[in-house]
Amino acid sequence: MVGDGAGAMSLVAPVVSAPGQRSPDEIAALHRHRVDKAIAWFREAAEGRTPRLCPICGYRGVFSPVRFKVETWCPSCDSRPRHRLLKLWMEREMRLAPGAEVIHFAAEPWVRGWLEARGARYRTADINDRFELRLDITAMDLPDASADMVIANHVLEHVDDAAALAEIARVLRPGGQAVLTVPMIEGWEATYEAPDLDEPQRRLRYGDPDHRRFYGRDIRERIRRAGLALAEFAAVEPDVSAHALQRGERIFIGTRL
């Protein structure tokens, strides 16, 4: 029975049907029918229906699926929606003086060439040693006020974000910018985080077992609390359709006061 704590499988194949419920055989048949229809739909949609333009590499054509998301991956340069949104922000709104020091956590390869062509002094960083600087974003071995931009695309959800944001603010020069993206739900007032979840539960509730939380609208307050003035750049039409962006995805730009 549903609601007796027997777990999700009981929804698919209940042992006993209550009055008013479909019979176990009917439920199993209907479930199979919906699964087959969904797979057929996905097979077609996964091929890609609409040509898109990648603002990073210039590829024009259909984009590839990633897991269950169709038309997401640029098959020419491997960019995903958040990377393309970042490129649009860089092209349209970023202001970076020649010689500006940029530190990029979890860096994507295309960013270097693009920023260096505009005179930036660019270094990649991460907790492991695959990047130029081995840095813990929550305790950076860098002097105060030593960077003009810190880019951290989908990093904060993996770490102690209060410590990371305080560190980013500390290493930025006044007027320097933190460029941040996180997985978030705009419809949630508050971030969801439950410290004791096991791996299957983190996968279920955060979408990834390596994440510590799923952000709500209070991401803004968390950024401001670190002493950063907030601006935002959102994925809106016609960019969403033209470049296969995720509707409403946002880049948060925190400027050191």
222: CB partners within 8 A, 6+ apart: 161, 162, 165, 191
Burial class (CB in 10 A: 0-12, 13-18, 19+), 67: exposed
Tokens (6 digits) for 85: 């949104």
In eight-state DSSP terms, residue 171 is H
57: CB partners within 8 A, 6+ apart: 74, 76, 77, 79, 110
| Count of residues of this chain found to bind Zn ion when the rule CB under 5 A is applied | 8
- Shortest distance, position 58 Cβ to Zn ion, whole Å: 7
59 forms part of the interface with Zn ion (CB under 5 A): yes
Closer CB to Zn ion, 63 or 214, in the complex? 63
18: CB partners within 8 A, 6+ apart: 1
99-138 residues near Zn ion, rule: CB under 5 A? none
- Shortest distance, position 249 Cβ to Zn ion, whole Å: 17
- Shortest distance, position 57 Cβ to Zn ion, whole Å: 3
Closer CB to Zn ion, 72 or 191, in the complex? 72
In eight-state DSSP terms, residue 139 is B
Closer CB to Zn ion, 83 or 158, in the complex? 83
Given the DSSP bridges, would you call strands 64-66 and 69-73 parallel, antiparallel or unpaired? antiparallel
Window 15-54: contact mask with Zn ion (x via CB under 5 A): ---------------------------------------x
- Shortest distance, position 109 Cβ to Zn ion, whole Å: 11
Burial 22-34 (b: 16+ CB within 10 A, else e): eeeeebeeeeeee
62-101 residues near Zn ion, rule: CB under 5 A? 74, 76-77, 79
Closer CB to Zn ion, 57 or 166, in the complex? 57
161-200 residues near Zn ion, rule: CB under 5 A? none
Report the interface residues with Zn ion, using CB under 5 A. 54, 56-57, 59, 74, 76-77, 79
